[in-house]
Chain A
């Protein structure tokens, strides 16, 4: 973002980011922060839960366990523009669990049951596999444990779910406990303007 960017222009950036990935709340709270203020952001390319190529590794939940905010200021968001709307979502289901009587995995992946699954569009009642499904994350339940992010990552999924710093919840510690603990240096500081740019170009902060 250029130094000359006005608040109105920044709002425009935020609106586009909001429309693209449903990060409206965090964009709104970024807008409310002062120009030049430093905020924490999460680099998806470094976070092991979303980093491409990091396959067959354990999910990292340090964003949950280390954040000084109760229930963590890091939450999962689903970028609907990338979501495959799968019949069996590997972020919603534990796809290695036993199959139940309806032919679906018997266990959900989220330990807080924060994801809802809804059939959308013109449903085929005779063939539930031949339908699209929408997966919505309830951010009030999510605590950023990252299980759904790892489950959705390519090649298992399409990588539409990512962790993001909720700027309405983050208290902007000078020494962020998550950043101190993160083994991948995925937590970095940026100005509000840079965070906006990241929201627009990389789909999250």
Chain B
């Protein structure tokens, strides 16, 4: 399976659809609209990359997620802000103790999950923002090892939380009650199926089929694994600026992968490319084929 770059969205600049200093988080809703948070603004783009709307956040945003009901959750330092899809602020959960630096948000069952990078763990909140339990802090290091400064996670259709634990070179799985379900990953600076450098992967996303997408820093790279942790493909590497790190990513229902270039402040969209069928061979390529 190979991917090709089909589109770029936004970029560094002063235009309405651009970001001036930082682009930290993205999400894609069921209609293919792309939500991006950076600087102190949310920008929403149509699937074709055109700017749909923009609104301000109270402080710099670190992550963004779109709930099934269309509400937009933005993670900030010390709080989560909740907006209607049109940008109307409808709520804010302020809790500096439990939401010190919210770098990822997800949804499971009726719960809202928020990664607190200050405390190096994930908080599970009820629909009103009340803390239910904490996930990932029940080890000797009292949390995830994140020298890169952010925790990212994604929730699959079964409600399993897949979390990047970059200091351990793993993707770790949890149930929403905090039970550890397993992990995959290992350090390797040569074999692309491993995670290189001091601390990778930094970011993670999951698609409807349970495939796990990750990004890495130094050198920047996006990859996809099957649900067992077998590398399926390197989605992209050379397209990113070398100084990129903590590159958020998202996957839409078409299997297109959206990755943030944190230097260019741009979203790169990659589409899966069908393998050419050899003459006389009518069999479709296996989903598990590894491209590199």
Contact = CB atoms under 8 A, between A and B. Distances in A.
B196 interface: yes
A87 B217 contact: no
23 contacts: A84-B147, A84-B198, A87-B167, A88-B199, A90-B198, A95-B197, A96-B196, A98-B190, A99-B187, A99-B188, A99-B190, A103-B187, A122-B140, A124-B140, A127-B168, A129-B187, A130-B145, A130-B168, A132-B141, A155-B220, A156-B198, A156-B217, A157-B147
Interface residues of B, number: 27
A130 B140 contact: yes
Contacts of B186: 103
A86 interface: yes
Interface string B145-184: 1010000000000000000000111100000000000000
Contacts, number: 87
A156 B147 CA distance: 10
Question: Which 5 residue pairs across A and B have the least CB separation, nearest first?
Answer: A84-B147, A155-B245, A156-B218, A55-B242, A129-B168
A105 B169 CA distance: 13
Interface of B: 139-141, 145, 147, 167-170, 186-191, 194, 196-199, 217-218, 220, 242-245
Interface size classification for chain A: 20 to 34
A144 to B, nearest CB: 22
Interface in A27-63: 52-53, 55-56
Nearest to B196: A95
B188 to A, nearest CB: 5
Contact of A87 (B168, B220, B242, B244): B168
A134 to B, nearest CB: 14
B243 A55 contact: yes
A155 B244 contact: yes
A105 B189 contact: yes
B147 A155 contact: no
